[in-house]
Amino acid sequence: MPVAPLNLYDLTREQLRVQLVRWDFNSVHTARLWNYLYIKLAASLDAMPELPPKLRARLATDTHLGVFPTALETASSDGFTHKYLLALADAERIETVLMRYTGRVTACISSQVGCAMGCVFCATGQMGYTRHLTAGEIVAQAVHVARALRAPAPSSAPSRAPKKCHVIRDKPVAERLRNLVLMGMGEPLHNYDAVMHAVDILRDPNGLALGAERITVSTVGVVPGILRLAAEKRPVHLAVSLHAANQTERAALVPAAKKWPLDELMSACRTYSETTGRRIFYEWTLIEGKNDSPAHARTVGELLGNLPAQVNLIPLNPTNGYAGAPTATEAARVFQHILSSEFKIRSTVRQRRGIDIAAGCGQLAVAEAASR
Ligand code: SF4
């Protein structure tokens, strides 16, 4: 049976060194190859001319660079959000999003093709689960965004520069990828090993060098994954998608809650915060008439009152498969005010970035599949 060529993005720097030595190459080449992969962001072996020809020949036969062609790219009307539908080697599609908030560049990347969790309002959940992504496929998405930031600005580039985009000696400072959220397609903690291996590669100080404090892993409430994160004391941020503060309402929105009920989830969150000393971000998709009343805000306050928590309120991104509508801005502000004034809980109302490009996870993949 033929051995699948090794994806270079699957390897940590140490694993790459070991591989070169195994092939009888001097480990001194590791640094240059790593530099090509993560500093120069080379997209092919042809773009690595300083490697010895014998090493390049070996890499050509036994490895591949998991670079994805872009099947579809869209940009929001304000130019600050770019969404890429990337074509994997097996013709599956995943979504990666580049977001420019004021002074911050963030990549939102996928961890699976589809998702098994089935959240009723989510386009990815409506599509079902196909497979886990490999660590290399997760890393390659961050590299894709880093490359996009380095590419010359297209004519559709934002007319207003992000706040902190400054100029030194008349030369714009290149934007650098600094923030990463695993909130794209898939449930990251359902693919724990590959996700954490990818995080280790992306944090390498000689590579993309993403700080752990700038990486957020989201979960819909996979309790074993939360407890494992706590036990391993991984320094990344954790975001838990709550959406409802009682078991019945939550199970109706998030079927995974039937497997990991709310009381078990909150117990795991408490363990996580106590073990790591970290605050958890609780995500709350605001759906008009469903979970956005003042009474709902008070149930959230009571549930989270004693925990180190920040609530991110996100008006629903409408999808064809779910009839709900986003909460109006004023109702979202009332919700937020109750959390802060009655429960001293910090919260944000997330900007609905890129709604004109179907930036909710899975929406672009569904639209593209329908047009194929
Ligand atoms: S919201 Fe996240 S966990 Fe839920 S179905 Fe969508 S991708 Fe999966």
Give the residue carrying structure tokens 């971000």. 281
pLDDT per position as a tens digit, 14-59: 999 999 999 999 999 999 999 999 999 999 999 999 999 999 999 9
Catalytic residue among 175, 187, 361, 368: 361
pLDDT at 162: 44
pLDDT at 353: 54
Element (H, E) at 13: helix 13-22
Q: Which of 11-25, 41-55, 170-184, 277-291 is least confident?
A: 170-184
pLDDT at 363: 67
pLDDT per position as a tens digit, 334-355: 999 999 999 999 999 986 555 4
Going by C-alpha positions, the residue among 155, 153, 149 that lies closest to residue 174 is 149
Whether residue 361 lies in the annotated active site: yes
Q: How far apart are CA 182 and CA 215, in angstroms?
A: 8
> To test the ligand 1 pocket, which listed residue (187, 242, 314, 322) has its Cβ within 8 A of the most ligand atoms?
187
Rg (Cα) of the chain, in Å, rounded? 21
Q: How far apart are CA 317 and CA 358, in angstroms?
A: 8
What percentage of the chain exceeds 70 in pLDDT? Answer: 87
Between 362 and 95, residue with greater pLDDT? 95
329 pLDDT above the threshold of 60 = yes
Whether residue 342 lies in the annotated active site: no
pLDDT at 372: 57
pLDDT per position as a tens digit, 257-267: 999 999 999 99
Distance (Å) from CA 128 to ligand 1 centroid: 10
362 pLDDT above the threshold of 90 = no
Query: Across all residues in the chain, what is the average pLDDT?
Result: 90
Distances 96 to 105, 213, 285, 300 between C-alpha atoms, Å: 13, 20, 20, 31
Catalytic residue among 14, 50, 95, 274: 95
pLDDT band at 322 (very low <50, low <70, confident <90, very high): very high
- Packing angle between helix 192-203 and helix 135-150, nearest 10 degrees? 40
Distance (Å) from CA 114 to ligand 1 centroid: 9
The first and second tokens of residue 57, run together, are 């020949």
Mean pLDDT (whole number) for 87-113: 92
Q: In the chain, what are the domains?
A: 7-64 (1.10.150.530), 71-371 (3.20.20.70)
Nearest 10 degrees: Cα torsion 79, 109, 328, 256: 170
pLDDT at 364: 65
Q: Which of 30-44, 140-154, 191-205, 317-331 is least confident?
A: 140-154
Q: Which of 76-85, 190-199, 270-279 is least confident?
A: 76-85
DSSP state of 59: H
117 touches ligand 1 (CB under 6 Å) = yes
Cβ partners under 8 Å of residue 266, min gap 6: 303, 307
